[in-house]
Amino acid sequence: MDALNQNTVLALWRECRAALEAAGIENAAAEADWLWQAAVGTDRHLLRPQDTVGDPGAAALRQLTARRAAHEPVQYLLGSWPFLDFEVKVAPGVLIPRQDTECVAEHAIALGRQLLAQGIGCAPAAEQDGGSPRWLDICSGSGILALALAVHLQVPVTAVELSEAALPVLKENVKNVCAQTGAPAVQVQAADMFDYVHTLPDGGAALIVSNPPYLTAQEMCGLQPEVAHEPAMALAGGEDGLDFYRCLAREYRSKLTEGGALVLEIGASQGRQVCGLLCENGWQDVRLYQDAAGLDRCVTARR
């Protein structure tokens, strides 16, 4: 087959799909379409099978296909990914948004609405602008949980993140999503959660949400190829995966107002341990929830 025929729409797309299938990519046909859109810039279905793709587009598609066949996450290759009802930028410095986390966001939003209905977390604009944070996302990463609260509750959220690689992505997502949705500005705070807690006054926060690193040391040694591309800083939770939960359970309770809420994402095998940590440290109404796959994924608690 000559080069011209190799670059027809049908031949090029089949080449991409075949390479992904050979690499064991489960959803090869759909991913071939996503990569096509990113590389060529046109919906493949709007073109005729015999149409020819220009050399720059064909080269870009083959490059993206090779990277995906090497198990680089498709989300990084596309550069953005949807979460709930908005889309965020993703890059190698941040954890990839997952559907698992949507159930965490949904429980945080539901609890937030309850708090607002009870008058918890409401404040005059001047107090919101200059006072202590009332709505917090700890270990914010790309900012998806902070943005979920800001968009759906229309409250000013503080997103706390330590990673120098994640902070530019977080700031860009905050700027873009808040502008697109009309949500209140999210304040980005560069800080280590283990130190940041000591800067917060007691009793000031209404709700704290967090998807902290929670993989064990053993799990970090056996990551799937795609997950191995994600930042270890966002994954490693210490020897038993519970280092960040210990801090949240012990240190952050006093930072919530009476009746305030904590919402956590957890690993599928950590429900009993995380609930135990919270109960041991005086938290009330500790509840465990499952994600869409039926796996333990979210823990909520009240002060």
Residues 273-294: tens digit of each pLDDT: 999 999 999 999 999 999 999 9
End-to-end C-alpha distance for the chain, whole angstroms: 69
Q: Quick check: 183 pLDDT over 60?
A: yes
- State residue 128's pLDDT score: 46
The pLDDT assigned to 127 comes to 43
Whole-Å CA distances, 239 to 216, 223, 268: 5, 15, 17
- Other beta carbons within 10 Å of 262: 27
Placement of tokens 């046109």 in the chain = 42
CB–CB of 173/137 below 8 Å? Answer: no
User: Over pLDDT 70: what percentage of the chain?
Assistant: 95
260 SS3 class: strand
Contact 189, 196 (CB under 8 A): yes
Express as a percent the part of the chain with pLDDT over 90. 89
pLDDT at 122: 80
> Can you give the pLDDT at residue 130?
54
Quick: pLDDT tens for 125-163.
434 445 689 999 999 999 999 999 999 999 999 999 999
At 290, is the secondary structure helix, strand, or coil? strand
Helix (H, G, I), strand (E, B) or coil at 268: coil
Closest listed residue to residue 63, CA positions, set 81, 39, 44, 42: 39
Domains of the chain, each with CATH number or no CATH: 3-70 (1.10.8), 80-302 (3.40.50.150)
> Pick from 255, 266, 262: which is nearest to 290 by CA?
266
Compute the mean pLDDT over every residue in the chain, rounded to the nearest whole number: 94
Instruction: Tell me the pLDDT tens digit for each residue of 47-62.
Output: 888 888 899 999 999 9
Q: Residue 4: pLDDT above 70?
A: no
Alpha helices in 154-242 (DSSP H): 166-181, 193-196, 217-220
pLDDT on residue 275: 98
CA 158 to chain CA mean position, Å: 16
* pTM of the shown model: 0.92
User: Residue 225: which residues within 8 A CB-CB, separation 6 or more?
Assistant: 71
Per residue in 114-125, pLDDT tens?
999 999 988 644
Sequence-distant (≥ 6) Cβ neighbours of residue 46 within 8 angstroms:
none
Which long-range contacts does 228-233 make (Cβ < 8 Å, 24+ apart)?
229/71, 229/72, 229/73, 229/76, 229/92, 230/73, 230/92, 230/95, 230/96, 231/92, 231/93, 231/94, 231/95, 231/163, 231/165, 231/166, 233/162, 233/163
- Identity (one letter) of the amino acid at 146? A
DSSP string computed for 189-210: EE--HHHHGGGSPTT-EEEEEE
Give the list of residues 6+ apart from residue 273 with CB closer than 8 angstroms, or none.
240, 242, 245
Do 236 and 215 form a contact (C-beta atoms < 8 A)? yes
Mean pLDDT of the region 214-233: 96
What pLDDT sits at residue 59?
95
Which of 98-102, 130-134, 212-216 bottoms out in mean pLDDT, i.e. has the lowest?
130-134
pLDDT value, residue 94: 96
